[in-house]
Amino acid sequence: MGPLQGVRVVEFAGLGPGPFCGMLLADLGADVVRIDRRGSRGGLIGALGATSLLDRGKRSIALDLKDADDLAVVRALVERADVLLEGFRPGVMERLGLGPDELLALKPSLVYGRMTGWGQTGPLASSAGHDIGYIALTGALGASGRPGERPAPPLNLLGDFGGGGVFLALGAVAALVHARATGEGQVVDAAIVDGTAVLTTMIHGMLDAGVWTDRRGRNLLDTGAPFYDVYRCADGQFLAVGALEEQFYAALLDGLGLAGDESLPDRNDPRQWGALRDRFTAAFAARTRDEWWTVFAGTDACVAPVWSLLEATQDQHNRERGVFTEVDGVVQPDVAPRFSVTPGSVGSVPQPGQHDAEIRAELEKGPRPPHPSQARGGPLDGA
């Protein structure tokens, strides 16, 4: 089911942010048809393609985009679709005869979603790239890490998925609302550099206000502050501490047995942060991670164990809330966000071309009629 039930999406298979966007839409009920490349899926595409959880809940048709008959199938799919998602370099879709001008002429209400690292314009638009370079160019990578050390990339979560896939999904749904109300489609140019830069908006505001320095590891939220940092425990495992507010800091000191210690350095004086961190480091090193979690669990000290990916699936809170689910024997994150009336669901991962016959049979029925909301100028409700 899901709030996007009835929305049809055509997605050109790729890696990372584009498929992630398609997964988000599929989780929320959209019918996502993935166009796979007919033939070999070796190398990285093979490793991250057919077995990728980013393709859960989708259907697959395998086509050769150099074949005229298969290009006709693509156009037929577009005529029945609401949204198209592609992640090629600028100009590739145009050379295939599948650019925005051609497909919006074919389907005027189409939402044409484009996912790139650098964007459709700019001096780097045609250059290759990956998450680490995109977040580097926006300043996000340079702000991540400890002073004097190399910047630490947060996997590919910040650029590919946060700055890329999530913003493409937001853009696609926003443009779909407009298309349902007016019948007018449009291009959504989602660039990872754009989205990642937006994610740094608060930090830029703090820079302007003079409460953030342009040096990593020296500020309130980048491990510069000793009460917002990660500490090693007696067993070599780690705890995350985020006791920013006064009342949470008081709970932290209480749990550490430091409440009322007048020799403790002043947390409000950044010049004393080094000495305060030393005290916290010694305190946390006295017990194991799990012993400390017994002390802090359920308190307002804002302390949490640093779980591994597998440990996170077994955490009591995550289990009781259902943060993770198991589908086809694979434990994976469940749908987010949650809806009270139209909940989404996690589907299976298709094999390339698995739904060829089914999809081709649907195409024989011809294009769908316009959505009723376009005739009455209504919103997306009831998609």
Residues annotated catalytic, as ranges: 130, 160
Copy the structure tokens of residue 59.
């259907």
CA distances from 353 to 23, 62, 63, 74, 175 (A): 17, 4, 8, 14, 29
Cβ contacts of 184 within 8 Å, gap of 6 or more? 108, 109, 178
54 three-class SS: helix
Backbone angles phi, psi at 266, to 5 degrees: -70, 120
SS3 at position 323: coil
The span from the CA of 194 to the CA of 314, in Å, is: 35
CA–CA gap between residue 330 and residue 90 (Å, rounded): 35
Length of the chain: 383
Where do the DSSP E strands lie in 259-354? 303-305, 324-327, 330-333
Pairing label, strands 324-327, 111-116: unpaired
Q: 355: which DSSP letter?
A: T
Give residue 217's region: left, alpha or beta (phi > 0; psi -120 to 50). Answer: left
